[in-house]
A and B are shown apart, each in its own frame.
Chain A
């Protein structure tokens, strides 16, 4: 079968999936957990507990702060000891609920057994409510509330559900591990989302460097026998897992500038989100756990891990449990090396979207920037068809109108331009600012209307 991929741009970084053969281990509970109120896209969640309250694992501790927002649940049982600002991994203050762990008692109505429930509820609204009440958000990186994404605006119908198992970022293996170890649950999750979207076909896209996962998912799909689900092999190419790139690869359709995937009939969900949907709908279990990879180029193979963590565990606790920060580390990143964020504060708590602790060595430090030589490699590499060198110049000149004309707002911040630049120009750093400026102008204009 032909391998699918997107049509323009892209790069081929070394895949470095060093932790691919490490089974998922469950982390023991730390003495204290810090649950952020801002771990999804949209409005901040509002705490509904007070200091001194006792909470059970899976109990709601915060309500959505707006339409695009999500419920937050307590990951552990214990006592709320503080509610207030705490530094997140970038060092900014965010509202956190601090919980002192006491035992491990779960709230009622949550099925903690590992039995596979294959029968899918008939009522769509019931499914959507469960997804919403259990705080499920997209775990591919953007943490967009899933119940909003699965509920297309009137007049638009989903023609294809794409399950994103590309995991195109180097080093990360958490999606790969759940594809191997929680295969059936992910497939049931996909069938549930299919149901909500009105029975559209579902494509599970997995990159060619994960043949075991492709086989496992393929056999699970045929064993479980849900109609309209198929597995597609994708070429190994970054950013294959980008929403718009994946739609291009699978459906050969392009989302126009400023449009949403649903405009071309696509809904893209990450495989980890599918697992969370399964747990939320079939087990009534809130999103309080996720999988995270501890890896890097300076850490020896015996110390690479894939962990099932409770959301709210401090990163430093996980790092300590995995054997501490290895020697030679110059940078610790949360997320992949391409799009992840450097961790400025290791004491920060994990959030729903945490996918890795990545230790990188000297070889990954940036080179000093030299002047642009106008070679155009960035424009070749851009998967959105933008001209990064031009955008940087326009940003330096402060020409917001020209930035909008040149579609700075379409940048997906994948970092291909910076990766391919032979002059080491910090292109993305500048384009990100330009994008924010243009988005501000667009929002202001829309607000006026």
Chain B
């Protein structure tokens, strides 16, 4: 069994809302509101949610660019929400990030060599020759030609730029990469390329991914464990099969039924099913959420399957499945 590389306990990120004459804090936006998860070495944890669900904020908090309101992020048993602990553990070297928009995450005035070498320069003392060799290796890993190091980001296509982003993320031999929508700006065939590279790198270097996406098909392809996020909290977590074959929370069902299916024969039936779920979701809000519209606490269903529902509804769902 692979070891847990990072553990997140009851993570909260709240943004204050200021208003009134004194500009006092009157309320909070609960972007992330009590989220717990753990990622194992060399495995991929998929985080699904719609825009505004707090999935990116969770990712940023893990990398350490978002201030955590409360909760713990344990890396090697030490809470790294404190910056001094991050430095001690070399956390900033071991955890890297791949961004969604490769155009805005690569400095347009820097050559590829400098872009990829930047994290290496930050953490390692290499001579110029060694550094260049390392950059070449990295480009090789993501299947880019060696003359790429002299070029600028704008000279590449979207898929190539995203691969450069992947190369930069693996430059420091990280243990965990937070990938925030790495392929949502890419075309289908290019997406396939980038996902394949990410998988190969994972197998080669035993890297864990936190794979954040709104695309359920991609997450299904990439990750073993999946969490569905809504309104800053998890509504359901479980293994891939549990989430896709036996979704229990209405929100999960709603998301799954909304994915367009390549099945022309049954598209009317699929549409009817989608509208039925949507109707149920809208009509029975208080059944699925508490009176403030917040997601209920997670309850255990089976070994690795948790869902945010009251006990009686879980029993009902289980009965239906039989």
The answer to whether A binds B is no
